[in-house]
Amino acid sequence: MFNARIALILAGLTFATWETIDIFWISFPAAAAVFAALFLSGTIWLWRRDSVRAAMALMLLFAFEAAVAPTLRAMTVTKVADLTLALTGIALAMTVVVIRRRTRASQPISA
Protein backbone atom coordinates (compact mmCIF):
# COMPACT_ATOMS: atom_id res chain seq x y z
CA MET A 1 0.00 0.00 0.00
CA PHE A 2 1.32 3.41 -0.97
CA ASN A 3 1.49 5.87 1.89
CA ALA A 4 2.36 9.42 0.84
CA ARG A 5 3.43 10.40 4.35
CA ILE A 6 6.01 7.62 4.58
CA ALA A 7 7.26 8.42 1.08
CA LEU A 8 7.61 12.11 2.04
CA ILE A 9 9.55 11.11 5.15
CA LEU A 10 11.88 8.98 3.00
CA ALA A 11 12.34 11.83 0.50
CA GLY A 12 13.16 14.23 3.34
CA LEU A 13 15.69 11.80 4.79
CA THR A 14 17.21 11.33 1.34
CA PHE A 15 17.73 15.06 0.91
CA ALA A 16 19.06 15.40 4.47
CA THR A 17 21.61 12.70 3.67
CA TRP A 18 22.44 14.28 0.32
CA GLU A 19 23.03 17.67 1.93
CA THR A 20 25.14 16.09 4.68
CA ILE A 21 27.38 14.49 2.05
CA ASP A 22 27.52 17.81 0.17
CA ILE A 23 29.13 19.44 3.20
CA PHE A 24 32.41 17.82 2.17
CA TRP A 25 32.10 18.53 -1.56
CA ILE A 26 30.87 22.09 -2.12
CA SER A 27 32.66 25.41 -1.78
CA PHE A 28 30.24 26.77 0.86
CA PRO A 29 29.72 23.90 3.33
CA ALA A 30 27.76 25.99 5.83
CA ALA A 31 24.81 26.22 3.43
CA ALA A 32 24.74 22.45 3.01
CA ALA A 33 24.91 21.99 6.77
CA VAL A 34 21.99 24.37 7.31
CA PHE A 35 19.86 22.65 4.67
CA ALA A 36 20.76 19.21 6.01
CA ALA A 37 19.58 20.33 9.46
CA LEU A 38 16.41 21.90 8.00
CA PHE A 39 15.51 18.78 6.03
CA LEU A 40 16.21 16.53 9.01
CA SER A 41 14.24 18.68 11.44
CA GLY A 42 11.31 19.01 9.02
CA THR A 43 11.29 15.26 8.47
CA ILE A 44 11.37 14.53 12.19
CA TRP A 45 8.62 17.10 12.73
CA LEU A 46 6.45 15.36 10.12
CA TRP A 47 7.23 11.94 11.56
CA ARG A 48 6.46 12.91 15.15
CA ARG A 49 3.51 15.29 14.75
CA ASP A 50 2.05 14.37 11.34
CA SER A 51 1.09 18.01 10.80
CA VAL A 52 0.19 19.94 7.69
CA ARG A 53 2.66 22.66 8.68
CA ALA A 54 5.54 20.17 8.62
CA ALA A 55 4.51 18.99 5.16
CA MET A 56 4.32 22.60 3.97
CA ALA A 57 7.76 23.36 5.42
CA LEU A 58 9.21 20.36 3.60
CA MET A 59 7.43 21.45 0.42
CA LEU A 60 9.12 24.86 0.64
CA LEU A 61 12.51 23.23 1.13
CA PHE A 62 11.92 20.94 -1.84
CA ALA A 63 10.80 23.92 -3.95
CA PHE A 64 14.01 25.77 -3.11
CA GLU A 65 16.07 22.73 -4.07
CA ALA A 66 14.16 22.42 -7.35
CA ALA A 67 14.80 26.09 -8.13
CA VAL A 68 18.52 25.80 -7.37
CA ALA A 69 19.11 22.49 -9.18
CA PRO A 70 19.81 23.96 -12.65
CA THR A 71 22.45 26.32 -11.23
CA LEU A 72 24.53 23.63 -9.53
CA ARG A 73 28.11 23.26 -10.63
CA ALA A 74 27.86 19.51 -11.03
CA MET A 75 27.38 16.83 -13.64
CA THR A 76 24.11 16.78 -15.55
CA VAL A 77 23.14 13.49 -13.93
CA THR A 78 23.44 15.10 -10.50
CA LYS A 79 21.32 18.06 -11.56
CA VAL A 80 18.63 15.77 -12.99
CA ALA A 81 18.61 13.59 -9.86
CA ASP A 82 18.36 16.67 -7.63
CA LEU A 83 15.52 18.15 -9.67
CA THR A 84 13.67 14.83 -9.90
CA LEU A 85 13.87 14.19 -6.17
CA ALA A 86 12.83 17.77 -5.41
CA LEU A 87 9.80 17.59 -7.72
CA THR A 88 8.87 14.22 -6.22
CA GLY A 89 9.08 15.77 -2.75
CA ILE A 90 6.85 18.65 -3.79
CA ALA A 91 4.26 16.25 -5.24
CA LEU A 92 4.36 14.07 -2.11
CA ALA A 93 4.00 17.08 0.20
CA MET A 94 1.03 18.35 -1.80
CA THR A 95 -0.53 14.88 -1.64
CA VAL A 96 -0.09 14.71 2.14
CA VAL A 97 -1.66 18.16 2.58
CA VAL A 98 -4.63 17.37 0.31
CA ILE A 99 -5.27 14.01 2.00
CA ARG A 100 -5.16 15.62 5.45
CA ARG A 101 -7.53 18.41 4.42
CA ARG A 102 -10.00 16.01 2.81
CA THR A 103 -10.07 13.60 5.74
CA ARG A 104 -10.51 16.47 8.18
CA ALA A 105 -13.33 17.98 6.12
CA SER A 106 -15.17 14.66 5.77
CA GLN A 107 -15.27 13.91 9.51
CA PRO A 108 -18.70 14.40 11.04
CA ILE A 109 -19.09 17.21 13.53
CA SER A 110 -20.34 15.96 16.87
CA ALA A 111 -22.56 18.15 18.99
Q: Look at the pTM and tell me if it is higher than 0.85.
A: yes
Domain layout of the chain by residue ranges: 4-105
Give 1's pLDDT tier (boundaries 50, 70, 90): very low
* Mean local confidence (pLDDT), 61-89: 95
Q: What's the rounded Cα separation, in Å, for the pair 20 and 102?
A: 35
User: Which DSSP string do the residues of 16-71 spell out, in sequence order?
Assistant: HHHHHHHTTTSS-HHHHHHHHHHHHHHHHHHHHH--HHHHHHHHHHHHHHHHHGGG
